[in-house]
Chain A
Amino acid sequence: MRNKDKRDNRSDLDSNIDSVVKYADPTQGLDPQQQSRRDFLEGSGAAVVAGAGISALGISTAQAQSSNSAARTAISVTVNGIQHSLEVADHWTLAELLRDELDLTGTKIGCNRSECGACTVLMDGQPIYSCSQLAVWANGAIIQTVEGLAVNGELSPVQEAFVVNNGPQCGFCTPGQLMTATALLNNNPSPTADEVKDAMVGNLCRCSNYNSIVEAVVMAGEEGGVA
C-alpha cells in the first residue's frame, strides 16, 4: 500500500524535474521572476556561495556584508507534503531554512561546504546537499527530509533496515545516508552492494559504519520495498 503511494508520489516528482534543473544549479541563479542573477550577485546570496573557501577561517568579507542587509524573497516550497509560503533571507541556505525556520532539525550540518553529505535532502526526488543550496532556489520545489520518510510512525523499508542492521552509530550522518538511499531505491529497487556504494559515495560516515549502511540498503531492496 505504502509502496504504491510512494510511486504515485514519485510521478509527481518527475513532473517537477524541469524546475529542479532551473533552481538547483547555482550558476543559473534565482527565478527571474523573483530576482535577477545580477541582483543576486550584488546582494547577499553570492557571498554564501563563495564563502566556503575565501578566508583562512571561513569568514569572507562579502559574506559578512550580507548579514544585515537581510534582503528577503517570497518563495513557495513543499516540504514533506506541506506547502509553505514564506519569506526567506536571500543568504539562507536550504539547510538553514529547514532547520531554523521549519524546525526540521533531522537534517544535519556537518561541514557546510559540500564535503560530507550529512545535510542531504531530496529536492524533486534528487538527493542534494542542502548546505550548498540557497533557500530561494527551492522556490517551487518539492523537498523531502528524513522527517518525511516514516508515515504515522511506520518506518520506510530502508529505515527499518537501518534499525535492524545498526545503520547509525553516532547517527549524525544517518539522515543524509537515508535520503540518498531513498533516492537510490526509488530508482533502483534492488541495488547491488556496488551500486549502493556508487550512489552513496557523497555521504561520509566517520564512525566508518559503511559496511552496515551498505548492507542495510541492500537489505531494504531485497525486502522488496521501494523506500
Chain B
Amino acid sequence: MSELTRTGLEPLNTIGNETARVDAVERVTGQAKYTRDWKLPGMLYAKVLRSPHPHARIVSIDTTEAAALPGVRSIITHEDAQVVWGSGSVNGGRQYNDPTKDATLHRRYIFNNPVRFVGDSVAAVAATDRHIAAQALTLIKVEYEELPFVLEPEESLADGAPQIWPEGNLCPDFRGELNPMVSDIGDVEAGFEEADRVFEERYETSFIHNAQMEPRCALAHWQRDKLVLYTPSQGISNCRHDTARDLGLEDHQVQVITKYMGGGFGNKNQNQDADLVAATLSRRAGVPVMLEYSRREDWLGVHGRWPTVQNYKIGVKEDGTVTAMELRGYSGMGPYRKNSGGISGMDAYGCPNRYREIHPVYTNRTTSGNFRAPSEPHGFYGVENMMDEVAYQIGMDPVEFTKINMRRPTEEQQFTNYSLEEVIDDGVERFNWQARRKVVPGSDDGPIKRGAGFSFMMFRAGVGTSSAIVRVNAREEYTLYVGVTDIGPGAKTTMGMIAAEALNVPLSQVEVVWGDTDRCPYSVGESGSRTTIMTGIAVVEAVQDLQRQIADGGMPSGSDVLIASASPTPTTDGKTRQCFGAHFVEVEVDTRVGSTRILKYTAVHESGRIINPTTARDQIRGATLQGIGQALHENLLYDPKTGQPLTPGYYRGRHLTHKDIPDIDVHFIEVDDGYGPFGAKTAGESGIILAPAAVANAVANATGKRMTSLPITRDKILGAMA
C-alpha cells in the first residue's frame, strides 16, 4: 500500500483534514450528469466527417445524397460554415490573448481547406439519430487532391519540405514573425570556454494524448440570440468568452454549463471546435444539437503533448560546477499552433550562462497542445537526463551535483519561500537513496538489473485574478458561487473547505454552486494548477467582505440574505512563488526482454499548505502514474509512408492499467509562505513533471545505458543492451 505522510503544519478546523468530496455521492451513484447525459426535447445528434489524408486540397464536396437521407436535418462544410476557431490556432500559442488571436497569421476554421492532418474536420451532419448521422457521413462525396506531407519537425524545416502554410513551417511568434523562441542569459560561449569538459546529447520525446476518459462532445441550444452550451470544459469562463468571440456574440449571449466533466488534463481548457460546430448546426436546424466524438476522433481531432527533439550542450568544471547550458529544440505542433511548444527545465538551474532556442514547427500530424504541465515533463526528462549523465561521467552523485547547480534565491530574485533543498534531503532519507542507487551504473550482475533515479523541480505558484460570491441566509446556511467545474482534482470541495475555514463553520454548512456561467462569477479555469490558489484567494476575500457586513449590520433575519463578492488581483510583492518537488524511483530492468518494473517510488512535494490531503495525495499519485506512462509506454506512432496514425486509442497506446501500478509514497512538506489561501500553492501538475525524468534516470542507473528517447519501450532497451 502507498503511504501518505505530512510534516510542517498542523491541520486547521477544516483545512488540512482528510475530507470526502462534497459531490462524492453523485459521483458513485451515477447521478453525476456529464455532457453526454443531457437530453433536451427534440435534440438532434451530430457527427463530424474527417480527412483520411494527412494533407490534401478539397476539390469538391457533394452533400446531395446525404441531405436526402431521411432524418438528416443539417449539413455544414467549409463552403457554407466559415467559423474561425480562435483558440485552435494562435500566434505564439498565446491562448488567452484576444489581440493576438485577432492578428493570428495562420487561422484555423472549424472546417479547413486544405485539410492538414488525418482527422482534420471536413463536414458535420445533424440528424434525428446518431446512427443516421453516421450513415449520412458515408454519403458525402469528397474529392481530394492529395498533397505532399511531412511528419517530423526537423524534416519540416529542411529545404524542399512540403509547405503546410505559405510562409513556411516555422510557427509564427506572437507578433506574427517567423522566429524561434530564444532565451539568452549571460554569455554561453564564455561559459563553454570556462568549462573543463563539454557534453552533448540529443533527446527525443513522443506525442502523448491527454486521453481523458470522456470523449469530447457538446450540446448546443439556442434561445433566440442566446446560445446555451453544455460542454465538458475545464474553464467555463474562458470557454464562454472564446465561443462568444468566435461566433460574433457578446459574452452574455453565451451560457456555458459544465456540471460534471470526465477529465481533460489540458485539452478542455477553452472552447473546442466541437462547441462551434454544435452551435452552428443547432442554429441552422433550429433545435438542440448534441455532437459526439468517437474515441478515435477525440484522439486525432483534439490534441496531446507536443513531441520534441532536444539537443543539449553542457559545460562543466571538474568540481561539478556547470558553466554553460545550451538547448536547441524542436517541437512538433501539428499544422495549427494551439499552444506554446515550450521545453522547460533549464530554468531550474542556477547556471549564469544559458542559451535556449526552441523551434515550434508545423507538421502534418494531429495538433499538439496543452497537457498537464504543458512544457515541463518532456523538458525535465531531457535536461535532467543530460545532467544525470554528466554527473555520473564526472563521478558525482546526481543529488550532490544537483545541489551545486540548482537554482537558488538571489538578491535580485527572491522567493516567497524556498524549500527545494529540504525536499531533496527528505526524499534522500525516505527513499534510502544511497543504498538503492548504483554508484557504477549497470553494475548488477546477471540479466535482471536494478537501479535508482532522481529528479527535482520547481513550478510556478503565482497568484492572480479570480472571483467568488458568498451568500448567507438567516439559518446560517452559506452558499458559495465559484466558476469551477471540478475536472477531477476536487475543486468544488477545496473551494468549500476554504470558505468553511474562513467562515469558521463546518463544511456541511456551505453549499457550493459551480459550473454555470450564468450563475457563477469569473474563474480562471482549472488549468495551470490555478484554481486552488487564485479562486481560493477570491473565496477568502469574499468571506471577509461578508464578515464585515455581518459585523456592521448583524446576521440576516427572516427571508433576508447577505451577499458578498470579491475579484482580487493579489501579488507576491515581486518575489517568485514556486512549489517544489523531488521524486526517487527504483526500477528493475529485465534486459532479456527489455521490460521495466517499478519497485519503489517516493514523491516529496512542498505545495504550501495542503487544503485536502486526500485529493492532494491523488493529484500527486495520478500525475506521477501518467508520467510513468509517458516514460515507458505512450506514443502516437505514424506510418512515415502514408502519414496515417497507427496507435490512436487506449489499447494501442498501451496506457497503464490496474496491473501496471506500483505503490507511490507521497510526502508533503507543508509551509505557509503568507501568500495564497491559507498558504496553499500549486499541486495538480507538479507530479507529472518529475516522473519521466526520474524513471529514465533509474533505467540508466540500472542498465548503464542512457535512454535518449521516450517512451523507453522494450525494443529500445534490447537495442541498447545488444
Binds B, one of A3-11, A20-28, A29-37, A52-60: A52-60
Best-buried of A105, A170, A212 by chain B (most CB within 10 Å): A170
Asked if A110 contacts B621 (CB within 8 A), the reply is: no
Asked if B213 contacts A205 (CB within 8 A), the reply is: yes
Q: Which residue of A lies closest to B625 (CB)?
A: A208
A209 to B625, CA, bound (A): 8
> Contacts A163-B20, A166-B614, A178-B28 hold; do A209 and B622 have CB atoms under 8 A apart?
yes
A110 to B33, CA, bound (A): 15
Asked if B28 contacts A169 (CB within 8 A), the reply is: no
Within 126-174 of B, Cβ neighbours of A (below 8 Å) are at 129, 131-132, 134-139
A99 to B33, CA, bound (A): 12
Binds A, one of B89-97, B643-651, B671-679: B643-651
**Does A155 reach chain B (CB closer than 8 Å)?**
yes
When the two chains form the complex, which single residue of A56, A68, A173 contacts B52, counting CB atoms closer than 8 Å? A56
Chain B residues in 8 Å Cβ range of A193:
1
Asked if A167 contacts B649 (CB within 8 A), the reply is: no
**A residues contacting the other copy or chain, number (CB 8 A):** 70
Asked if B661 contacts A113 (CB within 8 A), the reply is: no
Q: Mark B170-193, 1 if CB is under 8 A from A, else 0.
A: 000000000000000000000000
Asked if A64 contacts B134 (CB within 8 A), the reply is: yes
Within 78-109 of A, Cβ neighbours of B (below 8 Å) are at 91, 99-100, 103-109
Asked if A214 contacts B297 (CB within 8 A), the reply is: no
**Does A135 reach chain B (CB closer than 8 Å)?**
no
Q: Mark B613-640, 1 if CB is under 8 A from A, else 0.
A: 0110110011111100100000000000
**B residues contacting the other copy or chain, number (CB 8 A):** 78
**Does B341 reach chain A (CB closer than 8 Å)?**
no
Best-buried of B28, B39, B262 by chain A (most CB within 10 Å): B28
When the two chains form the complex, which single residue of A59, A106, A111, A150 contacts B650, counting CB atoms closer than 8 Å? A111
Asked if B656 contacts A208 (CB within 8 A), the reply is: yes
**Does B412 reach chain A (CB closer than 8 Å)?**
no
Asked if A112 contacts B295 (CB within 8 A), the reply is: yes
**Does A125 reach chain B (CB closer than 8 Å)?**
no
Within 470-491 of B, Cβ neighbours of A (below 8 Å) are at 487-490
**Does A187 reach chain B (CB closer than 8 Å)?**
no
**Does A67 reach chain B (CB closer than 8 Å)?**
yes
Asked if B212 contacts A170 (CB within 8 A), the reply is: yes
**Does B575 reach chain A (CB closer than 8 Å)?**
no
A201 to B69, CA, bound (A): 42
A113 to B69, CA, bound (A): 27
A57 to B138, CA, bound (A): 11
Q: Mark B455-499, 1 if CB is under 8 A from A, else 0.
A: 000000000000000000000000000000001111000000000
Chain A residues in 8 Å Cβ range of B39:
100, 103
Asked if B650 contacts A64 (CB within 8 A), the reply is: no
Q: Mark A104-135, 1 if CB is under 8 A from B, else 0.
A: 11111111110110100000000000000000
Chain B residues in 8 Å Cβ range of A201:
657-659
> Contacts A64-B138, A174-B27, A206-B211 hold; do A169 and B296 have CB atoms under 8 A apart?
no
**Does B571 reach chain A (CB closer than 8 Å)?**
no
A212 to B367, CA, bound (A): 33
**Does B294 reach chain A (CB closer than 8 Å)?**
yes
A212 to B213, CA, bound (A): 17
Chain B residues in 8 Å Cβ range of A208:
621-626, 629, 656, 661
Asked if A162 contacts B28 (CB within 8 A), the reply is: yes
Asked if B134 contacts A67 (CB within 8 A), the reply is: yes
Q: Mark B206-240, 1 if CB is under 8 A from A, else 0.
A: 00001111110000000000000000000000000
Asked if A210 contacts B30 (CB within 8 A), the reply is: no
> Contacts A166-B21, A170-B263 hold; do A212 and B618 have CB atoms under 8 A apart?
yes
Q: Which residue of B lies closest to A193 (CB)?
A: B1
A164 to B623, CA, bound (A): 20
> Contacts A149-B29, A167-B28 hold; do A105 and B37 have CB atoms under 8 A apart?
yes
Asked if B137 contacts A115 (CB within 8 A), the reply is: no
Asked if B296 contacts A58 (CB within 8 A), the reply is: yes
> Contacts A146-B29, A166-B615, A214-B658 hold; do A63 and B134 have CB atoms under 8 A apart?
yes
Chain B residues in 8 Å Cβ range of A203:
658
When the two chains form the complex, which single residue of B262, B294, B649, B658 contacts A197, counting CB atoms closer than 8 Å? B658
Q: Which residue of B lies closest to A168 (CB)?
A: B27
Q: Which residue of A lies closest to B1 (CB)?
A: A215
Within 40-57 of B, Cβ neighbours of A (below 8 Å) are at 47, 49-50, 52
A225 to B488, CA, bound (A): 27
CB distance from B49 to the nearest CB of A (A): 8
> Contacts A110-B215, A171-B27 hold; do A211 and B52 have CB atoms under 8 A apart?
no
Chain B residues in 8 Å Cβ range of A188:
none
Chain B residues in 8 Å Cβ range of A162:
24, 27-28
A208 to B622, CA, bound (A): 4
Asked if B649 contacts A108 (CB within 8 A), the reply is: no
Q: Which residue of B lies closest to A163 (CB)?
A: B24
CB distance from A142 to the nearest CB of B (A): 18
A162 to B614, CA, bound (A): 12
When the two chains form the complex, which single residue of A111, A147, A171, A202 contacts B295, counting CB atoms closer than 8 Å? A111
**Does B436 reach chain A (CB closer than 8 Å)?**
no
Best-buried of B29, B615, B617 by chain A (most CB within 10 Å): B29
Within 197-227 of A, Cβ neighbours of B (below 8 Å) are at 197-198, 200-215
Q: Which residue of B lies closest to A214 (CB)?
A: B658
A2 to B170, CA, bound (A): 65
**Does A196 reach chain B (CB closer than 8 Å)?**
yes
CB distance from A191 to the nearest CB of B (A): 12
Q: Which residue of A lies closest to B122 (CB)?
A: A57
A93 to B487, CA, bound (A): 28
A214 to B621, CA, bound (A): 13
CB distance from B33 to the nearest CB of A (A): 7
A167 to B300, CA, bound (A): 29
Asked if B297 contacts A58 (CB within 8 A), the reply is: yes
Chain B residues in 8 Å Cβ range of A66:
131, 135
Chain B residues in 8 Å Cβ range of A91:
131
Chain B residues in 8 Å Cβ range of A166:
20-21, 24, 490, 614-615, 617-618
A57 to B661, CA, bound (A): 31
A residues with a Cβ closer than 8 A to B are: 56-59, 61, 63-68, 91, 99-100, 103-113, 115-116, 118, 145-147, 149-150, 155, 159, 162-175, 178, 193, 196-198, 200-215
16 A-B contacts, Cβ less than 8 Å apart? A59-B138, A159-B28, A170-B212, A170-B263, A171-B260, A197-B658, A204-B655, A205-B213, A206-B211, A206-B265, A206-B655, A208-B622, A208-B629, A208-B661, A210-B625, A210-B657
B residues with a Cβ closer than 8 A to A are: 1-2, 20-21, 24-25, 27-34, 36-37, 39, 47, 49-50, 52, 69-71, 118-119, 129, 131-132, 134-139, 210-215, 260-263, 265, 294-297, 300, 487-490, 614-615, 617-618, 621-626, 629, 644, 649-651, 655-659, 661, 663-664
Q: A68-B71, A170-B214, A206-B263 are in contact. List 18 more A-B contacts (CB 8 A).
A: A57-B52, A59-B137, A59-B138, A66-B135, A99-B37, A146-B28, A146-B30, A163-B25, A166-B490, A170-B262, A172-B213, A175-B30, A206-B211, A208-B629, A209-B621, A210-B656, A211-B618, A211-B661
Q: Which 3 A-B pairs have the closest CB atoms?
A: A106-B30, A172-B262, A64-B135
